[in-house]
Amino acid sequence: MTSIGTGGASVKGWGMGSGTKKTEATVPVLRKISASAVLDAVIAGPLLDASGLMEATGLSRPTVLAVCDELLALGWLEEVEGTGSTRAGRPSRRFGLKASAGYVVGIDLGATKLHICLSDLAGTVIAEHLESWRDEHVAAPERLLTVRQRIHSILDESGVEPDRVLAAGMAVPAPVRTDGHAVALESYLPGLAALDLRLALRPDFDWPLLVDNDANLAVVAERWLGVAQGIDDVVVLLSGERLGAGIFLGGNLIRGCGAAGEMRFLQLVEGVGNTDAIGGMCRELGAVAAAEVVDGERPAAPGGSDLVRLCAGVPADVTAEMVLTAARNGDAAARDVVDVVTERTARVVAVVATLLDPQMVVLSGGPAGAGDVLLPLLDQALDQFDAQHPRLAASTLADRAALHGTVRIALDHAFGALI
């Protein structure tokens, strides 16, 4: 990887007196620090001139301009002529990140679906692919072969050569140890635990691959693009098929030994008993409720059951989205299902909030799109418990949170390697 070269510019405020001799090691170290500060500033904001970069970084004007010139030469920045003026009427130089200087790949290796995207350095997704697995128990080697094939297709369609990709991130629905192995049940994700997932893209691609639990990456995404921006104490609760938590406390992602946020302890919690989440429970209980209406065991409203209409009279076809839509429309059977699910979920939130005391708990995953239905009921149920009551929010990233998280960690790695 090309790195920032050495130069004679000094860093403001480092306490080097005029009589201090700079060693050979000092200038490269200080220049790397300066380059990192400038790069962080242009990544974070709009186009900035030298004065704006000085304010953002605390560096002197000569240092800022020298670093910008080097980043321009390397192709990571672009320069736009400003409309203002500086000395002797010269137009100001404004600098921004050159988003097309490189790319990252994001991979959400879900239990039921595969979602892959190609992003530029600004975090803009320029191509993506989504497909469902034929069943939930496809073996890991087949999954990873499919990932590599789909990445080839995305790169070909986008006209991006593989050597322009700087890093990749991957989310998996299981804890990931520091040795790259997932803590996954063979009955749930066969073959996954046996593989070093950091090598999952080889032999096709030799990019750095960052692998993490999908809940961890969901909380990273919520703080980057979602409802938790600027919040340092937040828990994201995956609410699709199985409960999982991404924990960010004190401004740090909490991983423990890799399994922080796993929810198997819920089998010990009265009124909960397992890790079934909102989406899965709504689907299963909704199918039962629809069958009861169809069979006449449950009375329907005078105008008929909205839930039964949505599933076209086939209870086995009920989805969580159908249940939540019917509940929003006032369907009695669907409301009963949602009441049961939210009371149980509120117990989970109460336990998490009591243990971790976050400022916010975010519902993530498909059901988060029905926050207008779920959040008021969760708030009411939480009021009944003697527990912490954090602010509740529904993710605006829907089922893309983990994917966005993979992009973010890949970008962080890529930017860190630039200097």
Q: Which sequence spans correspond to the domains of the chain? A: 26-97, 103-226+401-418, 234-396
Question: Nearest CA to 414 among 56, 114, 16, 120?
Answer: 120
Structure tokens at 66: 């020298």
Q: How far apart are CA 31 and CA 226, in angstroms?
A: 34
Using CA atoms, how far apart are residues 353 and 212, in angstroms rounded to an integer?
Answer: 23
Q: What is the mean pLDDT of residues 188-212?
A: 95
Close Cβ partners of 313 (under 8 Å, ≥ 6 residues apart): 294
pLDDT in the model for residue 17? 36
Q: How many Cα atoms occupy the beta-carbon half-sphere of 246 within 13 Å? A: 31
What is the Cα–Cα distance from 324 to 196, expressed in whole angstroms? 39
Start-end of H helices in 295-386? 306-310, 320-328, 332-356, 371-383
Q: Which CATH architecture has domain 234-396?
A: 2-Layer Sandwich (3.30)
Strands 77-85 and 113-120: unpaired
Cβ atoms 298, 319 nearer than 8 A: no
Domain 26-97 in CATH 2.60.40.10? The answer is no
DSSP letter for 110, please.
-
pLDDT at 20 (0 to 100): 40
Asked if domains 26-97 and 234-396 share a fold, the reply is no
Indicate if the pLDDT at residue 5 is higher than 70: no
Distance of alpha carbon 95 from the chain centroid: 28
Q: What are phi and psi of 248, to 5 degrees?
A: -125, 110
pLDDT at 92: 82
Given a cut of 70, whether residue 83 has pLDDT beyond it is no
Q: What is the DSSP letter of 363?
A: E
Asked whether 412 and 43 are in contact (CB, 8 A), the reply is no
Task: Give the model confidence (pLDDT) of 348-397 as tens digits.
Answer: 999 999 999 999 999 998 899 999 999 999 999 999 988 889 999 999 99
Residue 106 and residue 397 in contact, taking contact as beta carbons nearer than 8 Å: no
Concatenating the DSSP letter of every residue in 111-175 gives SSEEEEEEEETTS-EEEEEEEE-SSTT--HHHHHHHHHHHHHHHHHHHT--GGGEEEEEEEESS-
Amino acid at site 39: L
Contact by Cβ (8 Å): 319, 112: no
Residue 206 has which token pair? 């030799």
Nearest of 221, 240, 209 to residue 404 by alpha carbon:
221
Report the percent of the chain where pLDDT is more than 90.
75
Q: What is the pLDDT of residue 331?
A: 96
3-class DSSP assignment, residue 33? helix
**Full-model pTM:** 0.86
pLDDT in tens, 252-290: 999 988 889 999 899 999 999 999 999 999 999 999 999
Which residue bears the tokens 């004679």? 8
CA 185 vs. chain centroid, Å, equals: 23
Reply yes or no on whether the pLDDT at 9 is more than 70.
Answer: no
Burial of 391 (0-12, 13-18, 19+ CB in 10 A): middle
CB 193, CB 182: distance < 8 Å: yes
How many other C-beta atoms can be found within 10 angstroms of the C-beta atom of residue 239? Answer: 29
What letter does residue 202 receive in the DSSP assignment? T
User: Cα 194 to the chain's mean position, in Å?
Assistant: 25
Mean pLDDT of 42-54: 88
State the pLDDT confidence band at 2, using cuts at 50, 70 and 90. Answer: very low
Look at the domain 103-226+401-418 and name its fold. Answer: Nucleotidyltransferase; domain 5 (3.30.420)
Angle at 241 between CA 240 and CA 242, to 5 degrees: 100
Sign, CA torsion 127/37/216/218: negative
**How much is the mean pLDDT over the chain?**
89
pLDDT at 14 over 80: no
The label of the residue with tokens 């670093």 reads: 67
Task: Work out the average pLDDT over 27-46.
Answer: 81
Q: Which two tokens stand for residue 386?
A: 């003697």
Q: Which of 335, 378, 329 is nearest to 353 (CA)?
A: 378
Q: Strand 103-109 vs strand 113-120: parallel, antiparallel, or unpaired?
A: antiparallel
Residue-level pLDDT at 419: 67
pLDDT digits (tens, 9 = 90+) for 296-333: 999 888 889 999 999 999 999 999 999 999 999 999 99
Token pair for 201: 């893209």
Query: What share of the chain has pLDDT > 70, as a percent?
Result: 91
